[in-house]
Structure 1
């Protein structure tokens, strides 16, 4: 159940593009280079730094990636620009969870909590149960059509797989980011570390 601090209306527009971790890292590199979001948007659309054919697609995907990256501070963006492996995946997931608190709640209260309780997987049935619980404080979830609920479920699990927090069989696969990642996020927003199953430097 969400508390009063979490009861702000959930944005549910995360179904549009997926995690796009490689494109996210490329946009982070562009910002680290120029430190100007307007210039970054221009490079996305005019220079096609995220390698998408249609201008309309570049605008749509680029706008969503910029929205997510702007939840990070400049040091975190710079970290992501140079990150590889689990560091890249983890910082991408932090940005997604900051942009979409509904995913933060699911990642914290379901994925990480199940792992902490020694439950190895996250079945698809976990999403409707989560939505039903959250709907008491978030009526925007209650108003969703069944089709929209399924779309959100599909995208949520798809993004978890893209960021390698679960595998194709819905088993939880914890990330092992570096101690530097952990220190940086702890300095900025330590509560964000709760979105990850606790393993390695995250312990």
Structure 2
């Protein structure tokens, strides 16, 4: 899957899924429509970390992911969901915000799963990123340290999601209603990200 029109960003290293931080952020939103339209601003102090700089960084990152999600129904659903469903929504927003992660899931994780290769290491993401550099010059100036950091954060996201356990890829419990919401806006690719087979897709 090579799309040179897409400009990749690796700015996701502020945090993995950020579930607790997103819970605090969403609970502070008075009107989701206003937030999505940029009419409501959330104070960074709702983020419960010590350093002010960290609060601002995490607040900006969560805001960016939710705006990429751009789905009032899912944001409302998040507030009343269990932890598994919350993480399912969060990872969907991450994939929409950062196409590099979406494509890693579709090109590497899905391929590994289909070939019964369940081992996953940081090096898998690093090698994927190196290959993308051939088609995406915006990635060429990334340092080796940043590449390693990116790989570590992506693996941490998948661990938090429940898709990776002890360096092994595994399927997670899903919510059909959440996946249906993704499908409504044409994001059927998320079913592949979650490793669903044809029968499971039909049931949704």
Whether TM exceeds 0.5 here: the answer is yes
Show the counterpart of 2:183: 186
Show the counterpart of 1:74: 72
Q: Which residue of the other structure, out of 152, 160, 163, is the alignment partner of 2:161?
A: 163
| Alpha-carbon spacing, 1:52–1:39, altered in 2? closer, same or farther (3 Å) | farther
Q: Which residue of the other structure, out of 59, 63, 67, is the alignment partner of 1:62?
A: 59
Aligned residues of 1:115 and 1:197 also touching (Cα < 8 A):
yes
TM normalised by structure 1 equals: 0.84
| Per-residue CA distance 1:147-170 (angstroms, 9 max, x = gap) | 221111112212221222212x21
Structure 2: tracts of 5 or more residues without a match: none
Show the counterpart of 2:147: 149
Query: Over the residues paired in the alignment, what is the CA RMSD in angstroms?
Result: 2.2
TM normalised by structure 2 equals: 0.84
- 1:53 paired with 2:50, answer yes
Show the counterpart of 1:13: 11
Following TM superposition, by how much is the alpha carbon of 1:201 offset from its aligned partner in structure 2, in angstroms? 4.8
Following TM superposition, by how much is the alpha carbon of 1:39 offset from its aligned partner in structure 2, in angstroms? 4.1
Aligned residues of 2:9 and 2:100 also touching (Cα < 8 A):
yes
Distance 1:66 1:116 in 2: 34
Larger CA deviation: 136-145 vs 174-183: 136-145
- Secondary structure at the counterpart of residue 83 of structure 1: coil
Q: Which residue of the other structure, out of 132, 138, 148, is the alignment partner of 2:130?
A: 132
Following TM superposition, by how much is the alpha carbon of 1:99 offset from its aligned partner in structure 2, in angstroms? 0.9
